[in-house]
């Protein structure tokens, strides 16, 4: 009898939990959407076998042999010539600004080099992205015998491969600058979302309503402390990365902090939007995880951006983390500047402006 009563009580609690879960639309949605999103991302979007990586060509020879060599490269499907520069300096500028992943330099005396059994051409690779650089380095394994008329010449290297920015191909050099974006995404979005939801739960927000403070002013006042916290986090990451993992900081510190401010503003804005949708702190944490997963998988932090299908690339372009990782790797590793990566900087700025307006609008409606 006592056992039956115990089962009845357990059943009542179980039924109550299921009913409560069904009424909590955000939590119920996360139960369904998180495994669905992960399945789609890992099964469809993540592709480590990247093809047609953008490459700049500097062809000093401009001969039938050089054109044959370019055709061989593109036939391998490893790389695609997207820029043709007249000087190596122009090509290096494109590499420095992240417009291409490598440079193919064909010298004027390429025919003589082939006849003498020398290395015919040079491939300069952006080593700041270890995965894509390893893929492009496969060009160096293309045998010279593939060039018609030189199958019997001594020597078997057609391309000499060299790496810029990370010649040792160390993973830490690639990971640590981008890690700042993941840490900021995780902490700032969650902190901001939970802070506002907590004040709403405790009734503090109603006190602010009685004051003449505008919604947008509340938003701005809430995010300023977290801006400082974000700058401190980036300082810690880069400092420890420099002294412990020997990660070079080739760019200006001012440029790094300027890019970080743009990203912090975007992340905090996203946290504010979440806070207007979440009712409880648990919901705010769940929605943060929902944003964090695609930020890790689609931003280029772990997997090559170029290997994703176009729809997922479009989704990745919406995420602030994607643009921040490009900026950080460009500034820290390649010594580039924000002015040369305006597309990413403007994307972060627009996200912050539009997101702040949406958060202020939703905040006002939520309070009403």
Q: Looking at the structure, do residues 214 and 363 belong to the same domain, yes or no?
A: yes
CB of 359 closer than 8 Å to CB of 276: yes
Looking at the domain assignment, is residue 17 inside a domain? no
Angle at alpha carbon of residue 222, lines to 220 and 228, rounded to 5°: 90
Looking at the domain assignment, is residue 304 inside a domain? yes
Q: Looking at the structure, do residues 81 and 203 belong to the same domain, yes or no?
A: no
The strand pair at 159-164 and 102-106 is best described as unpaired
CA–chain centroid gap for 195, Å, is 26
Q: What is the pLDDT of residue 286?
A: 78
H or E segment to which residue 159 belongs: strand 159-164
Q: Looking at the structure, do residues 255 and 128 belong to the same domain, yes or no?
A: no
Looking at the domain assignment, is residue 148 inside a domain? yes
Q: Looking at the structure, do residues 117 and 79 belong to the same domain, yes or no?
A: yes
Angle at alpha carbon of residue 148, lines to 146 and 76, rounded to 5°: 35
Question: d(Cα 119, Cα 116) in Å, to the nearest integer?
Answer: 9
Q: Looking at the structure, do residues 214 and 299 belong to the same domain, yes or no?
A: yes
Looking at the domain assignment, is residue 13 inside a domain? no
From first CA to last CA, the distance across the chain in angstroms is: 52
Q: What is the pLDDT of residue 105?
A: 93
Q: Token pair of 229, please?
A: 């916290």
Domain stop point among 114, 144, 164: 164
- With 0.85 as the threshold, say if the pTM is over it: no
Tell the burial category of 277 from Cβ atoms under 10 Å away from its Cβ (0-12, 13-18, 19+): middle
Mean pLDDT for back-to-back runs of 10 residues, the chain (368 residues): 71 68 61 67 68 91 87 86 92 91 91 81 88 84 66 65 88 89 88 77 63 67 81 92 91 94 91 82 80 84 81 89 93 92 94 86 60
Question: d(Cα 188, Cα 359) in Å, to the nearest integer?
Answer: 16
CB of 331 closer than 8 Å to CB of 256: yes
Residue 123's CB is within 10 A of a number of other CB atoms, namely 22
Q: Looking at the structure, do residues 160 and 283 belong to the same domain, yes or no?
A: no
| Nearest alpha-carbon partner for 146 in 58, 65, 50 | 65
Looking at the domain assignment, is residue 359 inside a domain? yes
Looking at the domain assignment, is residue 26 inside a domain? no
Q: Looking at the structure, do residues 228 and 287 belong to the same domain, yes or no?
A: yes
| Nearest alpha-carbon partner for 72 in 84, 60, 80, 61 | 80
Q: How many domains does the chain have?
A: 2
Domain stop point among 105, 131, 164: 164
**What backbone phi and psi angles, to 5 degrees, belong to 160?**
-100, 125
CB of 357 closer than 8 Å to CB of 272: no
Q: List helix spans (H) across the chain.
A: 2-23, 25-40, 64-75, 88-96, 110-115, 130-136, 171-202, 204-209, 215-244, 253-277, 281-298, 310-318, 320-328, 342-367
Range of the domain at 107: 53-164
Q: What is the pLDDT of residue 143?
A: 73
Which residues does 31 contact at the CB level (< 8 Å), separation at least 6? 21
DSSP 8-class letter at 338 = G
Q: Looking at the structure, do residues 67 and 208 belong to the same domain, yes or no?
A: no
Q: Looking at the structure, do residues 123 and 177 belong to the same domain, yes or no?
A: no
Q: Looking at the structure, do residues 278 and 331 belong to the same domain, yes or no?
A: yes
Looking at the domain assignment, is residue 43 inside a domain? no
Question: d(Cα 263, Cα 183) in Å, to the nearest integer?
Answer: 12
Burial letters 23-59, b for 16+ CB under 10 A, else e: ebebbeebeeeeeebeeebeeebbeeebeebbbbbbb
The residue count of the chain comes to: 368
Q: Which residues pair with 121 in a beta bridge?
A: 159
Tell the burial category of 5 from Cβ atoms under 10 Å away from its Cβ (0-12, 13-18, 19+): exposed
CB of 66 closer than 8 Å to CB of 110: yes
List the CATH number of the domain containing 145.
Answer: 3.40.1710.10
In order of 272, 297, 323, 329, the CA distances from 294 in angstroms are 19, 5, 13, 19
DSSP reduced 3-state for 150: coil
Q: Looking at the structure, do residues 103 and 240 belong to the same domain, yes or no?
A: no
In order of 262, 324, 333, the CA distances from 337 in angstroms are 14, 13, 11
Q: What is the pLDDT of residue 326?
A: 92
Q: Looking at the structure, do residues 64 and 150 belong to the same domain, yes or no?
A: yes
Looking at the domain assignment, is residue 7 inside a domain? no
Domain stop point among 144, 164, 184: 164
CB of 95 closer than 8 Å to CB of 162: no
Tell the burial category of 83 from Cβ atoms under 10 Å away from its Cβ (0-12, 13-18, 19+): middle
């Amino acid at each position: 009898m006592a056992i039956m009563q115990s089962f009845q009580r357990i059943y009542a609690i179980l039924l109550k939990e299921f009913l409560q879960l069904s009424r909590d639309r955000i939590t119920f949605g996360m139960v369904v959407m998180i495994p669905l999103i992960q399945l789609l991302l890992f099964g469809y979007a993540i592709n480590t076998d990247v093809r047609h990586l953008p490459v700049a060509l500097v062809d000093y020879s401009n001969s039938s042999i050089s054109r044959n060599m370019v055709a061989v490269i593109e036939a391998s499907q490893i790389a695609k010539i997207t820029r043709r520069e007249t000087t190596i300096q122009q090509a290096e500028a494109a590499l420095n600004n992240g417009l291409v992943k490598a440079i193919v330099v064909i010298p004027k005396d390429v025919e003589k080099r082939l006849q003498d059994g020398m290395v015919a051409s040079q491939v300069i690779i952006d080593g700041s992205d270890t995965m894509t650089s390893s893929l492009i380095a496969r060009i160096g394994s293309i045998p010279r015998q593939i060039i018609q008329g030189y199958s019997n010449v001594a020597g078997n290297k057609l391309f000499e491969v060299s790496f810029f920015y990370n010649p040792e191909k160390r993973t830490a050099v690639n990971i640590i600058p981008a890690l700042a974006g993941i840490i900021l995404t995780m902490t700032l979005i969650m902190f901001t979302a939970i802070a506002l939801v907590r004040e709403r739960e405790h009734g503090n927000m109603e006190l602010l309503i009685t004051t003449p403070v505008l919604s947008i002013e509340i938003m701005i006042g809430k995010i300023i402390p977290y801006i400082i916290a974000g700058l401190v986090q980036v300082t810690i990451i880069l400092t420890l990365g420099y002294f412990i993992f020997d990660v070079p900081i080739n760019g200006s510190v001012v440029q790094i902090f300027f890019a970080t401010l743009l990203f912090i503003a975007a992340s905090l804005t996203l946290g504010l939007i979440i806070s207007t949708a979440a009712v409880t702190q648990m919901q705010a944490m769940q929605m943060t995880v929902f944003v964090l997963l695609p930020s890790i998988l689609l931003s280029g932090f772990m997997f090559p951006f170029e290997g994703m299908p176009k729809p997922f690339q479009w989704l990745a372009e919406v995420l602030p983390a994607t643009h921040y990782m490009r900026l950080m790797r460009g500034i820290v590793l390649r010594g580039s500047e924000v002015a040369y990566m305006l597309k990413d900087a403007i994307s972060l700025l627009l996200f912050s402006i539009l997101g702040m307006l949406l958060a202020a609008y939703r905040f006002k409606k939520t309070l009403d």
